[in-house]
Amino acid sequence: DVKVTQSSRYLVKRTGEKVFLECVQDMDHENMFWYRQDPGLGLRLIYFSYDVKMKEKGDIPEGYSVSREKKERFSLILESASTNQTSMYLCASSPDFYEQYFGPGTRLTVT
């Protein structure tokens, strides 16, 4: 079974803090994704990566950056957290852009 893990299930940070969310997959997938999920809006793509050190902006990249130094690990960085970044963050990996396997999610609260 594909396993996608995220570093934290719940996280509380203060405004202005730098926040790191980590995602690890164990199936050697080339493609990895970061989404945020907000009530009434569904999942929205922040960034995705199709190879090590390669990244592409999604629909809402503002205020976020990503890092992919190793194939299995994809990190989402909030350079200076703001209250409007309070959300559920979901990581996914995929071998082919068709079937995506999701992690358990990180519920981030910025106060």
Instruction: Give me the numbers of helices (H) and strands (E) for the chain, helices first please.
Output: 0, 11
The reply on whether position 105 binds other proteins by CB under 8 A is: yes
Question: Residues 76, 55: contact at Cβ < 8 Å?
Answer: no
The reply on whether position 12 binds other proteins by CB under 8 A is: no
CB-based burial of residue 97 (10 Å sphere; 0-12 exposed, 13-18 middle, 19+ buried)? exposed
Q: Which two tokens stand for residue 84?
A: 């409007």
Return the residues of window 28-87 that contact other proteins according to CB under 8 A.
Answer: 39-45
The reply on whether position 97 binds other proteins by CB under 8 A is: yes
The reply on whether position 100 binds other proteins by CB under 8 A is: yes
* Count of residues that interact with other proteins, criterion CB under 8 A: 21
What is the binding site for other proteins (CB under 8 A)?
9, 39-45, 88, 90, 92, 97-105, 107
